[in-house]
Each structure stands twice: as C-alpha cells, then as structure tokens.
Amino acid sequence: MNKKIVVIGANAAGAKAAAKARRTNPKAEIIVLDRGNFISYGACGIPYYLSDTVKELKELMSTPVGVVRDANFFNKVKGVSVRTNTEVIGIDRERKVVRLREGAAETELSYDKLVLATGSSPVVPPIENVSLPNVFTVKSIEDAELLKERAVAGAAACIIGAGLIGLETAEALQGKGMRVTLVEMRDQLLPGVLDPEVAAVVEKQVKLQGVTVLTGSAVTAFAGEGRVQQVIAGGQQVAADLVVLAPGVRPNVALARDAGLAIGVTGAIAVNERQATSDPDIYACGDCCETTHLVTGKKVFIPLGSTANKQGRVAGINAAGGEATFAGVIGTSILKIFNVNAGKTGLTENEARALGFDVETVLSPAPDRAHFYPGAKPILLKLVAERGTGRFLGLQAAGEGAVDKRLDAAAAAITFRASVEQLSQLDLAYAPPYSAAMDNLIVAADIMKNKLAGHARGISAREVKRKLDDGDDFILLDVRSPAEHGEIGLAGAKLIPLGALRERLDELPRDKEIVAFCKISLRGYEAQKILDAAGFADVKFMDGGIMAWPYRFRDQ
C-alpha cells in the first residue's frame, strides 16, 4: 500500500515539503490542504507589489519561467493534489485522521505521515478601536490587494512597527504618494535586527525621504468615526487615513496544541533536527515551528521565507521515507529601504551581551569598492566577537553600497565557527568594481584582531556622546585636516592634524583621557599609537569616526 502524506499549508514550507516528498517517493499519495485561495506565493514580495515594483500579482505566484503555481500546476507538474478553501479544524493522532471543513461540510482525511506548515499570523495588539475600518495587516495576498486599493496619494498612512515588514511597507506607501508616519515603541528602528548605531544609518535615510519617524512611542489607541482617522502614540495624535499593523508575527500552533503536540520554549511547535514533532508521524516546518540558533545552541523563533523553504525540504524528505536534517539558523536577514541596504547575521552586540558573552566590537565605515572606482558608495560594518576565544559572533551592515556579499561571507564564517583570525584570512574576490584590495570585511576583522590583542583601544560614538553630555573632563581630538574639520565636526573637539601631532604633543595634557577621531578613525588609531609611544597613559580612538557618528554635528 502506498504511503499517504498530508500537508497542511500550501505556501513556502508546505509547497516545498510536498514537492520534495514527491521527488523522494514517486509512489506516495500526497495531498496539500490550504484554507485560502492563493497558494505558493512569495509573501516577502508583497511590499514590492504594493509599490508597483512588481507589476502583476501573478508574478508572486509564478515560477522563474512565468508559470503560475496554482492547484493545476501542482497536480500536473508536481504530481501533488492541492485542495484550497479547505480548513483543517482538528487532528486525531490516534486514528491518524484530520478533520476538514469545506464550506458548510465537515469531513475527515486519513494520513500515514502529516506535515504541519501552518505558518504565522500578524500580531494584532489589544489596542482600543483596533477593529476600525482601514486598519490593515500585511501577510496575505488578500491583505495586499485591499491595502493597494486604499493607498491613495496625498492621504496619511501610519505604520505601527519598524521591523523589516514595517519599513518595506513604509517605502511602498511613500512611493504611492502617501504621507507616511512610522511608529515604533522601542527607541530605534529595526530593534532585534540592528544595534542602535547601525540602525541610525537606516533612520537617517528614512527621514531624508520624508517619512516621519516616532521611536519610543507606544500606541495606546486608534480613533475615528466610521474608519480610523487618528493614532494615539506616545502622547501624540497622528493623522491616519489608513494604518498598517506590523509589530511582528506569532506562530500558528492551535492545531498542534489541540492535538497534544509539544510546544517549544519560544511558543512555536517543538521539532528536532529532522523537523519531527513530539509525534514521530507528524512533521512541522516554516513559520509555525522553532529552530536552533547555531551560535548559542538555544531554541529560537525567527520566521523567514528562506528558512521555511529549507525546513520544508527536510520535512518532505523525511515524511516520504528519506533521511535529512536541518541544523539551524544564525538569524541572517537583509532589507532594502529607499537608498540604503541593511542587514545582520549572527548575534548583535545587544544580543550577545544579554546571553552572557564577553564581547568586543568594531565599527568600520568605508566605500563598498575601490574608492577611485566610479559609483563607490559608503557602508558601515559592525563586527562582534568574543573576547578570550576570538570567536566571530556577528556582523551588521548598513549603507548605500553593497552589504549583501559581506553578510553572506560572514554568515558562512559564523556557521563554521570561524575565529576573527580566520575571518581576516578569507580569500575574497577582488577587483576595483567590487571592493578595495582589502575588503571591508577583512579590514573590520583586522581592526578586531588589534582590539583583541590590546593594540587598539576603541570607544563607541554612543559612549563619546554620553561623555560630552555628562561634561566629562576629557580631550576629544580631531586629527583630520583643517578643511575636513571646518566642513563638518563635533562640538568641543580640538584640532591637531595627524601630520602635525608629533610636533604638537605639548598642547595635550598627559593626565587626561584623550579620544582621537578622523573620518573613519584609521588616523584616529594612528594617533592613538603615536600618543602611546609618547607616554600618554589614557588614549583611545572613536570607533568608525565621523562616518559612524549617528548624532547631530557641530553646525547642525
């Protein structure tokens, strides 16, 4: 008798599981159930459909050669039966059947192996009047169509949540001619993705594009007659003709929980490396289940389309009788927002410290290719490493230039538990159109090596700002040229160009802390070494220099 595999959910993870199960076991009967009408679409492309970057909705549901992935496609090309508008309302594990609702009728369907790909749902916070018309989420094709219809040029849009989806939706609506306000309850954009100084690069660009940004502002209510008209956030009243809720998603685990399957510490379905649940005949994959973080070994819930496809592949192989494992993730993510690219892989500094790591960090700004090659654009890298072991823990990147290849190289290094020393020795591709002779990632690793060895002593821009605000008694030393200093600078900084520093040592007090800086702090580091050699006792350089300063400058 042929094996019967039932998959619940027909998007990224479920569709991949069904297709891979068919290739693994050509004789199995494979049935996919989905409560919606649209299947196997690229949900991550929804903001680009909103902005008209993707012109036709069918492009989100098509193969690379333009064939729409509908039920007929799966039946004829994949050999998989897909039943849409079919809701699974229960799982009887003892009898190995699922209970279905199709219209008004309820039926049952047996299975030998079951794959749960139930996905996630947008978090709808318990806010007063959250059910008013024109309050949207952005998760499904239906959401996208309705939101696109209501996105009217000149109207006001308010996005609640400044994560990946919130930012991408803000850009899409701004591109439709709407007046956009972005509201985030935490004190930075992309919380949980970037540390504050890297997030500041993104925030600056978002504001330059005319988006109003309200951070540290919790939404307490919506107001309006017949539809939403105002958002009450942080004590302010924000005009809004439509609202998009984007504070995050939560895993759809009701079916699994009701069936008695184990739910993990993250609130998502618990699975092992084979994507098997606590029932060996039931697998789970995609946004409904948790996974393992490869740096920490801890369970995490990080819903991404890339992960869903990889987990779906593993679940499909195993459900069909094969053998496959999924090791885990390191949280790699990226986005393009207006003219800036930003992303991370591994642990941020905040995450690493919260987990008890003793960390060192590096901020390294530079052009994304040889500075003399036309089109070179700035990027900022932030490296995180463990003191003592030198283990490379994480990378963040933001800027107008190419950050993706640095993140991808870093992701590989972190996955294979590379040290900073090993990272600095990577044989990366070089030609002036692509990078400097010493790629940004290699330069950042070399700075980190100097810091870990005690040769370089950096201090963050955030700490310098605190010292200035608190009136600390220290010398902020600008070692740039007079022209650079006059063009843009920091209030209270003393100018001594690097080339004149050795001749002007007597101008500096030897009993005070000195923090040197320049454009990117290469000269700042050189100034530290000169002053060290001259016997100054407490010298540091400001990480990243002027290019990594996220605050107002002297004359602004």
Residues involved in catalysis: 44
Amino acid at 83: R
Instruction: Compute the distance between CA of residue 171 and CA of residue 337 in angstroms, rounded to an integer.
Output: 7
Q: 114 phi and psi, to 5 degrees?
A: -125, 135
Instruction: Compute the distance between CA of residue 170 and CA of residue 151 in angstroms, rounded to an integer.
Output: 11
Closest CA to 546 of 515, 521, 514: 521
Radius of gyration for the chain, computed over Cα atoms and rounded to the nearest angstrom:
27
Closest CA to 477 of 493, 453, 465, 466: 493
CA angle 28, 30, 32 (to 5 degrees): 170
Question: Could you tell me how far CA 74 lies from the centroid of its own chain?
Answer: 31
Helix, strand or coil for residue 105? Answer: strand
77: its two tokens: 């090309």
Give the list of residues 6+ apart from residue 486 with CB closer than 8 angstroms, or none.
none
| Three-state secondary structure of 59-98 | HHHECCCCCECCHHHHHHHHCCEEECCCEEEEEECCCCEE
Helix, strand or coil for residue 114? Answer: strand
Amino acid at 347: L
Tokens 């849009």, residue? 157
Helix, strand or coil for residue 395? Answer: strand
Instruction: Compute the distance between CA of residue 256 and CA of residue 254 in angstroms, rounded to an integer.
Output: 5
Instruction: Compute the distance between CA of residue 199 and CA of residue 282 in angstroms, rounded to an integer.
Output: 40
Instruction: Compute the distance between CA of residue 32 and CA of residue 8 in angstroms, rounded to an integer.
Output: 6
Q: Are 28 and 4 in contact (CB under 8 A)?
A: yes
Q: Are 251 and 231 in contact (CB under 8 A)?
A: no
CA angle 252, 255, 260 (to 5 degrees): 120
Measured N-to-C along each axis, helices 440-452 and 404-415 cross at an angle, to the nearest 10 degrees, of 50
